Chain A
């Protein structure tokens, strides 16, 4: 019988919005030392006009979660302890995987520029993004279809990281706390997303 410890993996999923090409998803699997083991990226995804009209406010969860997220997760050979993302829209992928999915929040008080590629321009809930009373917090928008927008989030701290899960998957919080307890203190769960973006840039340029 082998006494080797089971290998543990971490998954990082994000989507980059490149205006001229569309949405490109990237999924990176690391070992607990932060070394890359697998990387998967999609070709650019652009919704058709019909999709834009018909899906309406549900377009983002559809694209980010079902189309891109599900495609990427299904290609991976290794199953991670959890999948982390820096885009709130990607939380929709939780519907298509049994692995808990967490949103990595910026450190407390950090300013986040409200760009399209940023997870934190959420119009729903008050638990993600810059503090609500921050002079820099993005302007709130009200829409009649608010119920279809980004999910309400439950945020929590784990080691040196601030995470959030969708309220609909509140049970994921405990699973994530148990699974990532051993690495949460030493591992900056927000760092790998920069690498993914660079890798997508490199892969896009090589086409």
Chain B
């Protein structure tokens, strides 16, 4: 087969085949007109290839390079610096009156069975609402917790404060104007003292004036010795020259005075130095029972407002006694201009919200034990002191003269006589216990609560009824006819105007249900704790609406204090030996102890317990 390459190129469509010609071969012309159809690569190869070139530009114009510069951004910083106040350290008081055992402490001796196991909390100081500047707000926010501040300053407490009390301290601490308006019995005194103590120790304040009703001056001194024993405290007293010197003493950080002195020494507060500044200035002035200045036109109010000060606090269980104008008057002392007369109560409430802290017993029920027992130590009035000294001296003299024939009965009579003088001075009727009771009942009534007042003498109860007439008192004792007793109890429960029921220990028998009473006052003490407990249980029973605050009056420096001390020691000893025993054990005074009350030797004979 001829190769396609050999085909004539000019006549690709005709071809013939000739057989090779050797001898004997015939030839046949097989020429046929054939028109071959050339397909495929044969046809292609028959053409002269003339490749064409198409140029395609594969590379575009040079790529643009984008450089990303990573520039470290500057980080703006806001900076705040805070002054480091120079803390004040006070040497331990050499004549500290704080007793070693918490149970013997005058003041608040709440039962802490369950409360003692409360975990430690962290109370933060928050900036008050009137602090606007960011730096000032930050300074408060960046303070350590109150507990830490106290621990750092090595401030110890005889009793662990309740959580709500720490909140009260945190409320007072940053404020230049504040009212602590807790219900009575919740420890306003302790909270104020702790806040003052902290401010002094941190160097935030250096001079404090505390103004209170006269019967409470010694109470405040005792409370300071209990809650802030290292802080020097001075009660302003004496003649005018002495008081003028005392007000100006720079070395005593805390000065206590009563409202009457405030008025009498007004010229001290109004005197000015050459540059026009007040000569006597305080970093903090605290008004206890601040409802005393509710009358704006009174000299007491004007005298209080005249004191030059940086911070103003008010303590009261009744910030509004009668009308909202009472609060206006208090705020004239705290923050003049914040409130005005005729202001609508709702608007007033909004305005004072950040300045007033009030907790009721119900609100802090979770923190409180069911029963709070506190001792109200009072000092006898001058008249009572005179009568008391006279009676004691005469009585002791008589006992001495009796010699061997002196019997327990004689001592009993003397003790009872002296106890009666501790209640009321027989000659003048003066009574420091009554003054204190009136102040407390003021708060009770203003809060709408009710109280029981116990005494072992009917005469005392009748006398109290006359003095407490404004509180709607009712009497319940042996001289009340039997048929009148139940109606009296019903009236006490149901009549909102009756705030106090005067009861004798003997009449407070079993079966009485007086759970409506939140406060119990033991005007004079019974020697047998079981009898006192029974009296208290009239109010403090299972199912009571809330905790009961028990106030036990005690005249300082008298037979009452001595008896109380002996019984406390005995109770401690009993509880140490029998920690699970109830308090209904019979604790009394032996003959020796009775005679020992007057530093007399027991003449002899059988030793019988007195009660």
A contact set with B: CB distance below 8 Å: 25, 28, 31, 33-43, 45, 50-51, 54, 66-68, 71-72, 75, 77, 186, 188, 191-192, 195-196, 198-199, 202-203, 206
Main SS of chain A's interface residues? mixed
Asked whether A202 lies within 8 Å of B134 as measured between CB atoms, the reply is: yes
Asked whether A199 lies within 8 Å of B138 as measured between CB atoms, the reply is: yes
Asked whether A38 lies within 8 Å of B81 as measured between CB atoms, the reply is: yes
| B138-154 contacts to A (CB < 8 Å) | 138-139, 141-145, 148-149, 151-153
CB contacts (< 8 Å) of B74 on chain A: these are 71
Query: Contact partner of B73 among A31, A37, A39, A67, CB < 8 A?
Result: A67
Report B278 CB to chain A, min CB distance, Å. 30
| B531-552 contacts to A (CB < 8 Å) | none
Report A184 CB to chain B, min CB distance, Å. 14
Report B501 CB to chain A, min CB distance, Å. 50
Asked whether A203 lies within 8 Å of B84 as measured between CB atoms, the reply is: no
Q: List 11 A-B contacts (CB under 8 A).
A: A28-B142, A35-B202, A36-B139, A38-B81, A39-B79, A39-B81, A43-B77, A43-B78, A54-B70, A75-B79, A77-B81
**Is B68 an interface residue, CB under 8 A from the partner?**
yes
Docked Cα-Cα span, A51 to B76, in Å, equals 18
**Is B80 an interface residue, CB under 8 A from the partner?**
yes
Report A105 CB to chain B, min CB distance, Å. 20
Asked whether B84 lies within 8 Å of A43 as measured between CB atoms, the reply is: no
Asked whether B75 lies within 8 Å of A42 as measured between CB atoms, the reply is: yes
Docked Cα-Cα span, A42 to B148, in Å, equals 28
**Is B51 an interface residue, CB under 8 A from the partner?**
no
CB contacts (< 8 Å) of B84 on chain A: these are 31, 35, 37
CB contacts (< 8 Å) of A191 on chain B: these are 144-145, 148
CB contacts (< 8 Å) of B145 on chain A: these are 191
**Is B21 an interface residue, CB under 8 A from the partner?**
no
Q: Please count how many residues in chain B sit with their CB below 8 Å of the partner chain's CB atoms.
A: 31
Asked whether B79 lies within 8 Å of A38 as measured between CB atoms, the reply is: yes
Asked whether A35 lies within 8 Å of B77 as measured between CB atoms, the reply is: no
Report B314 CB to chain A, min CB distance, Å. 28
Query: Contact partner of A72 among B70, B77, B148, CB < 8 A?
Result: B77
Report B287 CB to chain A, min CB distance, Å. 30
- Given A38-B80, A38-B82, A68-B75, are A199 and B148 neighbors across the interface (CB < 8 Å)? no
Report B529 CB to chain A, min CB distance, Å. 42
Docked Cα-Cα span, A33 to B112, in Å, equals 31
Docked Cα-Cα span, A188 to B85, in Å, equals 22
Asked whether B143 lies within 8 Å of A35 as measured between CB atoms, the reply is: yes
List of 4 A-B pairs having minimum Cβ-Cβ separation, nearest first: A34-B144, A36-B142, A71-B75, A33-B152
Docked Cα-Cα span, A33 to B144, in Å, equals 9
**Is B137 an interface residue, CB under 8 A from the partner?**
yes
Docked Cα-Cα span, A13 to B75, in Å, equals 15
- Given A38-B79, A39-B82, are A67 and B72 neighbors across the interface (CB < 8 Å)? yes
Asked whether A37 lies within 8 Å of B82 as measured between CB atoms, the reply is: yes
Query: Contact partner of B142 among A67, A75, A188, A195, CB < 8 A?
Result: A195
Report B293 CB to chain A, min CB distance, Å. 35
Docked Cα-Cα span, A199 to B202, in Å, equals 21
CB contacts (< 8 Å) of A195 on chain B: these are 141-144
Asked whether B82 lies within 8 Å of A198 as measured between CB atoms, the reply is: no
Asked whether A198 lies within 8 Å of B141 as measured between CB atoms, the reply is: yes
- Given A42-B76, A203-B134, are A34 and B149 neighbors across the interface (CB < 8 Å)? yes
Docked Cα-Cα span, A186 to B154, in Å, equals 11
Asked whether B75 lies within 8 Å of A43 as measured between CB atoms, the reply is: yes
- Given A39-B142, A195-B142, are A186 and B75 neighbors across the interface (CB < 8 Å)? no
CB contacts (< 8 Å) of B152 on chain A: these are 33-34, 186
CB contacts (< 8 Å) of A34 on chain B: these are 144, 148-149, 152
Asked whether B77 lies within 8 Å of A41 as measured between CB atoms, the reply is: yes
CB contacts (< 8 Å) of A186 on chain B: these are 151-152
CB contacts (< 8 Å) of B78 on chain A: these are 40-43, 203
- Given A33-B152, A195-B141, A203-B134, are A71 and B79 neighbors across the interface (CB < 8 Å)? no
CB contacts (< 8 Å) of A50 on chain B: these are 68, 70
Of B134, B141, B145, most A-chain CB atoms within 10 Å: B141
Docked Cα-Cα span, A192 to B141, in Å, equals 11
CB contacts (< 8 Å) of B151 on chain A: these are 186
Report B127 CB to chain A, min CB distance, Å. 8
Query: Contact partner of B143 among A36, A188, A202, A203, CB < 8 A?
Result: A36
CB contacts (< 8 Å) of B68 on chain A: these are 50, 54
> In the complex, what residue of chain A is closest to B83 when comparing beta carbons?
A37
Asked whether B77 lies within 8 Å of A71 as measured between CB atoms, the reply is: yes
Docked Cα-Cα span, A202 to B72, in Å, equals 27
1/0 per residue B73-105: CB within 8 Å of A? 111111111101101000000000000000000
Of A33, A35, A186, A202, most B-chain CB atoms within 10 Å: A35
Of A39, A43, A192, A198, most B-chain CB atoms within 10 Å: A39
Asked whether A51 lies within 8 Å of B70 as measured between CB atoms, the reply is: yes
Query: Contact partner of B77 among A33, A37, A42, A51, CB < 8 A?
Result: A42
Asked whether B77 lies within 8 Å of A202 as measured between CB atoms, the reply is: no
> In the complex, what residue of chain B is closest to A38 when comparing beta carbons?
B81
CB contacts (< 8 Å) of B87 on chain A: these are 33
Asked whether B77 lies within 8 Å of A75 as measured between CB atoms, the reply is: yes
> In the complex, what residue of chain B is closest to A23 when comparing beta carbons?
B75
Report B120 CB to chain A, min CB distance, Å. 12
Asked whether B80 lies within 8 Å of A40 as measured between CB atoms, the reply is: yes
Report B132 CB to chain A, min CB distance, Å. 10
CB contacts (< 8 Å) of A41 on chain B: these are 77-78
| B415-461 contacts to A (CB < 8 Å) | none
Of A25, A41, A192, most B-chain CB atoms within 10 Å: A41
Docked Cα-Cα span, A198 to B141, in Å, equals 7
Docked Cα-Cα span, A75 to B74, in Å, equals 13
> In the complex, what residue of chain B is closest to A51 when comparing beta carbons?
B70
1/0 per residue B206-226: CB within 8 Å of A? 000000000000000000000
| B40-94 contacts to A (CB < 8 Å) | 68, 70, 72-82, 84-85, 87
